[in-house]
Structure 1
Amino acid sequence: MQLQQLAYFVAVAETRHFTQAAERMRVAQPSLSKQIKALETELGAPLFSRARGNVTLTPAGESLLPLARRMLADADTARQEVAELAGLRRGRVRLGATPSLCAGLLADALARFHREYPGIELLVEEGGSRDLVRALARGQLDLSVIIMPLQSDDPALVTEEILRENLVVASPSHARVRRQYLRIEDLRGRPMVMFRRGYDLREATLAACRQAGFEPRFAVEGGEMDAVLRFVEAGLGVAVVPSMVLDGRPGLTGIPLAPPGLRRTIALAHRKDVEPTRAAQAFRATLLFFLAEAEHGGELPQGVELIRGVRDSTRPARDAAPAADRG
């Protein structure tokens, strides 16, 4: 049974005339009659009585008519919903991001995207890069904003480096540390606030301390980003954090690490074997355009820079989206 056959059937039932039905459906009358006959054969019962040139519904036809109308209406609804999705009036983006990014630039980028695509549902999963990569591999996320480099056991991903950021030593503003730089060695013996296991920042800090020849001393460990920053404000210790998370936190001061310091690279990632949805592609374009605008206006947080090449790709990606896609 085909939708086209049902549409032909409804047209004949409503016009009670094969020729008029064919004209309504813009098809040759013999073709329409052939499709009606095929439908009757499949159902095993005649749908029309053609006695003396009058076309009337048989009992089987009477039973089929409301069902056929409903099926055609459902099919039309399905077409409309798919069309709305294709036009980015509906849909969803499942985005993964590290806590530091959620607390920093990402919130403003999400707000921009929501204004431009209010019908797109945003689902955000916060976690460490390893957890986000696993979620990508399981098909639970469309895109992730992760920290590079990836581990060797990560699945095949397409990654696009977008930002570089300095890591700084956060301390309470009232501590009034009068130093332009700190060395990793300066953290030896100092109480530190440490993130929970699985955080990229935990691994980066431990690796840097061990390379300098010492194990860090933890005053408290196991916190998420907000908790770590609050613990530092309370004077429990210092913490190595991304510079962007100190934006808007007057109670904290970030002291850069002496050159070469510690930096991290932020990238967008998606699975190599799955093309991102149109909604996910639109979010990527919105995010990159937002970052390029922020850089141009001098609004990127201190210590954060856009990677060369990203700014050049944002305008074409933005302009490539159809006007209907942008609201």
Structure 2
Amino acid sequence: MTLQQLAYFLALADVRSFTRAADRMGVAQPTLSRQLRALEESLGALLVNRSQGPLTLTPAGEAVLPLARRIVADADNARAAVAEVVGLRRGRVRVGATPSLCIGVLADAIPVFHDRYPDLSIELSENGSQLLVSGLERGELDVAVLVVPRQGLDPSLEVTPLLRERLSVASPRSEPPLSGRGTMSVTELSRRALVMFRRGYDLREVTLRAYADAGVEPRFAVEGGEMDAVLRLVETGTGVAVVPDLVFAGRPRLRRTALTPPLYRTVALARRTDVSPTPAVQVFQDTLLGFLAEAETIGDLGTDVQVLHRAPTP
């Protein structure tokens, strides 16, 4: 078994065509077919159904697929690590983050990272926490900044808690306050129409769980939005939304109303335990931790955001 054979198999699994897979890999189709056959002989099982009709993977092929992705990704990481050891002159960090963290913490932290390490690049993937965990497990991400679910994360991931962040209700500042007290309960909130995030968003799950715990049903004005769309719909008066406190910064058209009892979420940095961080990944993590500590010191994070981890002292 060779890395090249696994790469050919992955290309075939992705495009489901010998011709297109050969084009993707830049080889002749007979070459790709021979290498796949050699891989199957090495493993002792057919990986691809070669009958007429759409190309499909055999049960053995389905079993090998996630392992092949991890092996090829780890090999890419090894090559990247060797290049990065030489003075961090080259390299990349594949970062995943939830949409609220992309427009909040990371939008401010990434410029700091680039100022310090201009030769390192960042590939940013924006998604819900469950999909980010899947990206880590498949070797498609180096690190992910995500929300820790109530049941915790898989022990195969190393988790560094970053923030404990309060969630509040966003409403349009152009309309009267939701409450004269500046706070409201989930029961009071249930009387308002919600602008709700799409399925897979952590904020959707947290909000619906809070409603269930309070014994009330949500009433939706709009469902299925991404973060920017939800905030814009709130600004225009379509409804209200439960959002992290950090998103209120720089949005003067939004009014914040705190929930009582308070609703919090924990934000963490996660990566695979079985893959040592490359130098670029390590300096990204250290930069992010240092940025959060400094932002907390000067009050940029607000009073209801608590930093949970400190960068190591140089």
Query: Shared fold (TM-score greater than 0.5)?
Result: yes
More helix by share: 1
Structure 2 residue aligned with 1:134: 134
| 1:39 alignment counterpart | none
1-side partners of 2:255 and 2:216: how far apart? 24
The answer to whether residue 269 in structure 2 is matched with residue 298 in structure 1 is no
Q: Max radius of gyration: which structure?
A: 1
Contact in 1 for aligned 2:167/2:258 (Cα 8 Å): yes
Q: How does 1:112-127 map to 2 (within 5 A)?
A: 112-127=112-127
Superposed counterparts of 1:152-163, under 5 Å: 154=154, 156-163=156-163
The 1:210/1:150 distance shift into structure 2, 3 A limit, reads: closer
Q: Following the alignment from structure 2 to structure 1, what is the Cα–Cα distance between the partners of residues 237 and 141?
A: 37
Q: Is the partner of 1:175 in helix, strand or coil?
A: coil
1:174 corresponds to 2:174: yes
2: CA distance, partners of 1:210 / 1:86: 54
Aligned pair partner of 1:184 in 168, 183, 186: 186
Q: Which residue of 2 aligns with 1:89?
A: 89
Aligned to 1:282: 283
Distance (Å, rounded) in 2 between the aligned partners of 1:153 and 1:108: 26
For 2:232, the equivalent position in structure 1 comes to: 230
Deviation, 1:102, is: 0.5
8 Å Cα contact 1:247/1:301 also seen in 2: no
Backbone CA RMSD of aligned residues: 1.8
- Please state how far the C-alpha of 1:299 moved relative to its aligned partner: 1.6
Q: Which amino acid aligns with 1:193?
A: V
Aligned length: 233
Question: 1:162: Cα distance to partner?
Answer: 1.1
Q: Tell me the distance in 1 between the aligned counterparts of 2:173 and 2:116.
A: 38
Does the 8 Å contact 2:195/2:222 carry over to 1? Answer: yes
Q: Distance in 2 between matches of 1:152 and 1:227?
A: 29
- Give the distance between the partners of 1:85 and 1:100, measured in 2 at CA: 33
Measured after TM superposition, the shift of residue 247 of structure 1 is 0.6
- Cα offset for 1:83? 5.6
- 1:172–1:251 Cα contact (<8 Å) kept: yes
Task: Establish whether residue 103 from structure 1 lines up as the match of residue 103 from structure 2.
Answer: yes
Residues 9-61 of structure 1, C-alpha deviation per residue, up to 9 Å, x if partnerless?
Answer: xxxxxxxxxxxxxxxxxxxxxxxxxxxxxxxxxxxxxxxxxxxxxxxxxxxxx
Q: Is the 8 A contact 1:137 1:155 kept in 2?
A: no
In 1: Cα distance, 2:207 partner to 2:150 partner: 17
Q: In the alignment, residue 165 of structure 1 is paired with which amino acid?
A: E
Query: Does the CA-based 8 Å contact 1:164-1:265 persist in structure 2?
Result: yes
The answer to whether structure 1 residue 196 and structure 2 residue 198 are counterparts is: yes
1:258 paired to 2:260:
yes
Q: Is the 8 A contact 2:84 2:279 kept in 1?
A: no
Conserved in 2, the CA contact under 8 Å of 1:244 and 1:302? no
Q: Distance in 1 between matches of 2:268 and 2:190?
A: 31
Give 5+ residue unaligned stretches, structure 1: 1-78, 320-327
Assess if the C-alpha contact under 8 Å between 1:86 and 1:278 holds in 2.
Answer: no
Question: 1:152-173: per-residue Cα shift (whole Å, max 9, x none)?
Answer: 7846111011101000000001
For 1:302-322, what per-residue CA distance to the aligned partner results, in whole angstroms no more than 9, with x for missing partners?
Answer: 421212xx23xx242xx2xxx
Evaluate the alpha carbon distance shift between residue 290 and residue 188 of structure 1 in structure 2; reply closer, same or farther with a 3 A threshold.
same
Deviations 1:260-281 (A, max 9, x none): x110000000011111111000
1:180, 1:117 → 2: CA distance?
A: 43
Look up the SS of the partner of 2:275 in the other structure.
coil
Q: Rate the CA distance shift 1:83–1:240 in 2: closer, same or farther, 3 A.
A: closer
Residue 35 of structure 1: aligned partner: none
CA pair 153-248 structure 1, distance change in 2 beyond 3 A:
closer
Amino acid at match of 2:142: D
Structure 1 residues 140 and 83 mapped into 2: Cα distance closer, same or farther (>3 Å)? closer
For 1:83 and 1:152, the matched residues in 2 are separated by: 35
